[in-house]
Structure 1
Amino acid sequence: MYRRNHFAYQYVSKKAFALPVVGEVHQPAVFQYHDLLSLPAKTLQVVLECAGNKRSYFEPKVFGEQWKEGAISEGVWQGVPLRSLLAFTGVKKTAVEVVFDGYDFGTRTNMKGHFLYARSLPLEKALHPDTIIAYAYNGKPIPYKHGYPLRLIVPQWYAMASVKWLQKITVIDHTFQGPFQTVDYVYYPDEESDSGTPVTHMRVNSIIQYPLDWGRVNTGVHRIHGLAWSGIGAVTAAEISVNGGHSWHTASLQSTPEHPYGWSVWSYAWHATQTGVYKIMSRALDSAGNAQPLEAHWNTKGYGYNAVATVNVKVQ
């Protein structure tokens, strides 16, 4: 599981095993860790992708962690649906969003003071049955570096929404204005803009796992394979080009309908009969009609890169 956090890891005290739910609710409550373990649980296989995944491929270059394809992982998360907790406390008609505070905090460049890592969800997404307060990952307690003891899991949204080291949930009657909501994780179209579009759903995307970029292979049949995923709907097709996008072929797609938030595995049998240098490309399509573009939508923070995946291969 890749790791990404804005501040240093925090000491986990006994307080971290209690989760208050407050704000625009009828009955504020504090849920103990053992309370959550005793409630009906949900187990979900979920892809978590950093919004900055593949950032290093943007041109012109942008500042930030220069991820290539490594800021994405899939795992099995177990926890309690957030809606179960909110059903217990009740939600007032004035509720608009739900804010999630993490225990991690620190200073920010060009901003005075200390800041908690905090994010919000619109009420509709917070009440989705698959938005969960997780306490287990791959059948074991969540590893400390991934949010132990409690972490929010928001399927199909970029992973900045899945707040780690969860310490408090607050239902609010307005739009949250924290810096990790209104400064970071916003698609700014240019350096002069002070407003943009919030980063939410993962964009349809794919990676090529084999062959490797700038690798050498012999003539013959090769199984090109990789992964595809989307934050809106399901992946419905993967297409492969072995000539730099001049023509495309449908790949074999292995999806798991019982795990709608996982990635799909695709493969294509490539008959490499002639020597030379080949540009191999992959693109995924989803059920909402989205397809990977030839060029990613550039933005100043370098979020949401999803241009067609490309590797260069020499056949010898």
Structure 2
Amino acid sequence: MPDLQRREFIVQGSAVLAAIAGLYASGVNAFPTQTGEKVIPWLDQPTENPNPAVIQTQLVWEDLDTFITPNDKFFSIAHFNRPTIDEKSWSLDIGGLVKKPLKLTLADIKARPRQEVVFTVECSGNHGFPFFTGGIGNARWAGTPLAPILQEAGVLDSGIEVVFFGTDKGDVEIRDIKMQQNFARSMSFADAMNPGNLLCYEMNGASLPTPNGFPLRLIALGWYGIANVKWLKEIEVRDTRFMSLLMARDYVTIREEEHNGETRWIETSVGRARIKSAPAKVTQTGSGYRIIGAAWGAPIDRVEVQIDQTPWKPAIIDHSEEAEHAWKIWSLDWANPSPGEHTVTSRAISTTGQIQPAMDDPLIAKKHTYWESNGQVTRHIRIS
């Protein structure tokens, strides 16, 4: 596995492999609170959020104690306004390069086959700013699959791009041209036909909350939050790539790459989520300590934790609650930590051997924008 070798991750011997396998098979539940258990707060708390109207209800990592994030604690981001929509007058238009344009009410959509999925949504800018570290949540989403609706509409052979328009809109100025734009994101027709994509009207057993897209939003499995369009109003099929504010100018990652000894600057539109993990909290019971965290963004094989500059140690993944597209909750017992300040870092490793990059990895160090901030997260703590 060259990727692992390059980052000097070496598993030595079948005995170590067997021990790690035993840890994962143990099914330790990370969340039960023990009598007298307390959370040791991190020293590096997020700075004050300068955009409370845009970014709301961030996850407080020390409060993470459930696999599913409650609706009232789920983060929300609005790039323009936060529309209030009357579901009785609302409808979804499906048009563009289709044989049979459709107009569906919420009742029409709810009458179609219902599908559920547990999916962790993360903003691609999460951990990109000192104040933005809680742009993530895990929920049980319910709705109807998108693919059969596109099939019913009959996408023409020339239709290669599917654009999702939100009701939210705002004023934009580009090259001295002032315009009003609705929030819009797109994906290829092949990606849109993924059977896991949902037109979602329910979150954790209740109607979508207004901050999370009522009455309807897209749930696009495996994509960053920006692609999961809220407050849906229209789906349009086009014959060219869609290059809007949030596809071609914003939410664009700029990165240096080395090619034959030369630096090449690459710009890519943010799309699919990347592998990531983060320490959530450290708890203390008597003289014992435990580190708890989460990993997501790819099929997770294992998670490792580094305390200060000591060797990486395998964490125990909690298998009591899990789902294919949801975060993995992990924990590591921390025996006899010395008094004073310590650093805690985690890294996730996928089933294909991909490792969450360190902050000095070229994938992160040579990235010049805050999107796709999936570098290893290090937290600071003081043990008394």
Using the size of structure 1 for normalisation, the TM-score is 0.88
* Distance in 2 (alpha carbons) for counterparts of 1:238 and 1:162: 27
Q: CA deviation at 1:138?
A: 0.8
Q: CA deviation at 1:13?
A: 4.2
* Distance in 1 (alpha carbons) for counterparts of 2:286 and 2:306: 17
Alpha-carbon displacement from aligned partner over 1:132-168 (angstroms, at most 9, x marks no partner)? 1001111111011211111011111110001111000
Where does residue 6 of structure 2 map in the other structure? none
Give the alignment partner of residue 303 of structure 2, picking from 222, 227, 238: 238
Where does residue 291 of structure 2 map in the other structure? 224
* Distance in 1 (alpha carbons) for counterparts of 2:366 and 2:285: 37
Structure-2 change in CA distance of 1:199 and 1:273 (3 Å) = closer
Where does residue 166 of structure 2 map in the other structure? 102
Q: Which moved more, 1:282-291 or 1:292-301?
A: 292-301
Structure-2 change in CA distance of 1:21 and 1:194 (3 Å) = farther
Matched, 1:138 2:204: yes
Q: Which moved more, 1:248-257 or 1:145-154?
A: 248-257
* Distance in 2 (alpha carbons) for counterparts of 1:16 and 1:285: 47
Give the alignment partner of residue 137 of structure 2, picking from 49, 73, 77: 73
State the AA in 2 paired with 1:21.
I
Q: CA deviation at 1:199?
A: 0.8
Identity fraction in percent: 29
State the AA in 2 paired with 1:226.
G
8 Å CA contact retained: 2:322, 2:328: no
Q: Which moved more, 1:282-291 or 1:144-153?
A: 282-291
8 Å CA contact retained: 1:47, 1:262: yes
* Distance in 2 (alpha carbons) for counterparts of 1:256 and 1:116: 42
Matched, 1:172 2:238: yes
Structure-2 change in CA distance of 1:169 and 1:194 (3 Å) = farther
Alpha-carbon displacement from aligned partner over 1:99-122 (angstroms, at most 9, x marks no partner)? 000011111355521111000011
Q: CA deviation at 1:178?
A: 1.1
8 Å CA contact retained: 2:173, 2:179: no
Structure-2 change in CA distance of 1:306 and 1:258 (3 Å) = closer
* Distance in 1 (alpha carbons) for counterparts of 2:353 and 2:239: 34
8 Å CA contact retained: 1:219, 1:273: no
State the AA in 1 paired with 2:252.
V
1:17-166 counterparts in 2 under 5 A? 17-56=90-129, 66-68=131-133, 70-108=134-172, 110=174, 112-166=178-232
State the AA in 2 paired with 1:221.
G
* Distance in 2 (alpha carbons) for counterparts of 1:93 and 1:221: 63
* Distance in 2 (alpha carbons) for counterparts of 1:41 and 1:298: 44
* Distance in 2 (alpha carbons) for counterparts of 1:258 and 1:277: 33
* Distance in 2 (alpha carbons) for counterparts of 1:312 and 1:283: 16
Structure-2 change in CA distance of 1:308 and 1:270 (3 Å) = same
Aligned residue for 1:188, secondary structure, equals strand
Where does residue 276 of structure 2 map in the other structure? 205
Aligned residue for 1:116, secondary structure, equals strand
* Distance in 2 (alpha carbons) for counterparts of 1:289 and 1:90: 40
* Distance in 1 (alpha carbons) for counterparts of 2:365 and 2:138: 25
Using the size of structure 2 for normalisation, the TM-score is 0.73
8 Å CA contact retained: 1:219, 1:315: no
Q: Which moved more, 1:96-105 or 1:258-267?
A: 258-267
Q: CA deviation at 1:257?
A: 8.8
8 Å CA contact retained: 2:120, 2:137: yes
Q: CA deviation at 1:288?
A: 3.1
* Distance in 2 (alpha carbons) for counterparts of 1:194 and 1:119: 24
Q: CA deviation at 1:123?
A: 1.2
State the superposition RMSD in angstroms.
Answer: 2.3
Q: CA deviation at 1:16?
A: 5.7
Q: Which moved more, 1:3-12 or 1:98-107?
A: 3-12
Alpha-carbon displacement from aligned partner over 1:11-61 (angstroms, at most 9, x marks no partner)? 42457631111112121111121111111011011111111101125xxxx
* Distance in 1 (alpha carbons) for counterparts of 2:337 and 2:199: 52
* Distance in 2 (alpha carbons) for counterparts of 1:87 and 1:36: 15
Alpha-carbon displacement from aligned partner over 1:199-226 (angstroms, at most 9, x marks no partner)? 11111111111228xxxx7993211111
State the AA in 2 paired with 1:42.
Q
Aligned residue for 1:196, secondary structure, equals strand
* Distance in 2 (alpha carbons) for counterparts of 1:301 and 1:5: 20
Where does residue 312 of structure 1 map in the other structure? 380
Aligned residue for 2:155, secondary structure, equals coil
State the AA in 2 paired with 1:209.
A
Aligned residue for 1:211, secondary structure, equals strand
Where does residue 356 of structure 2 map in the other structure? 292
Aligned residue for 1:35, secondary structure, equals helix
